[in-house]
Amino acid sequence: MGLEKQIPKGFDPKLDKIIIEEQESLPIKGKWRLTARHIKTGEVIVKEGENLIVTVGKVLVCQMLIDAAGYDTGLTWCAIGTNAAAPTLADIALGTESVRKIITTRPPPVGNVITLTTFFNAGESNFDLKEAGIFGHSTAGAGVDSGILFSHWLSAFDNSLAAFDLTFDLVLSIGV
């Protein structure tokens, strides 16, 4: 058995001590769910997937952590649109935003999990939906592209006949 096999992992023979490496991280993982309920029949269609937390969204979180001016409102708006281009880390807005609403419910976290829910009635979402996103900052409001984009995802659902009410859930797990 060679000397290299006798040296314990983490032992630095030059320093004659064991080096302990600690790694700490705080990942934020997001999943979205679209629940479409037919306004006449009650039929339910559910679609799910993972979202992308964009670079400016990560900066938004950093600014909220230090309570920077304007960053104390959290994530407040959900927008949906018609652009089918794949989201990228560089996104600062949806490709083609059609409508946005204030997030309907933001209950207290359950452990390290946050769920944000937004309801769009059939008349508000009567188009061929392709994308969605969550916005925050004190500049976020009812205006198209207002605020800072936190997350962006593709969610294809044709509601051009205004037959379905749509509920979007964004579930964020922190530190997993």
**What is the pTM assigned to this prediction?**
0.83
pLDDT above 70: percentage of residues in the chain = 87
Residues 81-136: pLDDT tens digits?
999 999 999 999 999 999 999 999 999 999 999 999 999 999 999 999 999 999 99
pLDDT of residue 1: 46
Give yes or no for residue 4 having a pLDDT over 90.
Answer: no
Residues 56-79: pLDDT tens digits?
999 999 898 888 887 878 899 999
Q: Which helix (H) or strand (E) holds 56?
A: helix 55-65
CA angle 131, 51, 133 (to 5 degrees): 40
Residues 6+ apart with CB under 8 A from 67: none
Q: Which residue has the higher pLDDT, 107 or 3?
A: 107
pLDDT above 90: percentage of residues in the chain = 73
Give yes or no for residue 172 having a pLDDT over 90.
Answer: yes
pLDDT of residue 22: 61
Q: Which two tokens stand for residue 175?
A: 């530190």
Q: What is the residue extent of each domain of the chain?
A: 30-174
